[in-house]
Amino acid sequence: MPLVAEEVVRRTRSNVLEYLHIFGKTVDKSPLDRWRPPAESEYKINVDGSFVPGQHHAGWGFVVRSRDGHLLCARAGRSDNISDAFAAEAVAMSQAINTAAELGLVRVELETDSQLLVEALDLRKVDSSAYAAVIEDRKYQLKL
């Protein structure tokens, strides 16, 4: 069955974003780039994954802060059998969402530097990536 033009555009954009994420130039962050409190939530979770091409593992980490900036929780770890940067970001987000649920946090703002992951987690769209099952599971958990 042929794909609709919008789906082809979405998939192409996702592939380009993933390519740029892996092979694009890194931009030095400004020293003035500081943490900002959540806009409408009580807590903010900053999430990041780390992947080195050629390795089969990834690092992940996140920090949970209250609206006034107080540290509530921070976790980091390593996951094996990871094959790309997107998977590393997805694992990091998964760990953060699970921890938010464990802590009983309801109003949470999640922040990641992965535009590809943000688009995949868009609750209005169906994900068709290789990680669709994981992404759809996280979307369901976010709805609760």
Spatial separation of the C-alpha atoms in residues 2 and 120, rounded to whole Å:
22
Query: What is the pLDDT tens value at each position of the chain, 144 positions in all?
Result: 677 777 777 778 887 888 787 777 665 555 556 788 888 789 999 999 999 888 889 999 999 999 999 999 999 999 999 988 988 999 999 999 999 999 999 889 999 999 888 888 876 776 666 677 777 787 777 775
Distances (CA, A) of 53 to 21, 82, 83, 88, 89: 12, 10, 8, 11, 14
Q: Which residues are CB-contacts of 3 (< 8 A; sequence separation ≥ 6)?
A: 11
Domain locations along the chain: 5-23+40-143
The first and second tokens of residue 98, run together, are 């699970």
Of 48, 9, 11, 6, give the one whose Cα is nearest residue 127. Answer: 11
Q: CATH assignment of 5-23+40-143, given 3.20.20.150, 3.40.50.740, 3.30.420.10, 3.50.50.60?
A: 3.30.420.10
pLDDT, tens digit (0-9, with 9 covering 90-100), for 58-91: 999 999 999 999 999 999 999 999 988 988 999 9
* Alpha-carbon gap, residue 95 to 73, rounded angstroms: 12
Q: What pTM does this model have?
A: 0.69
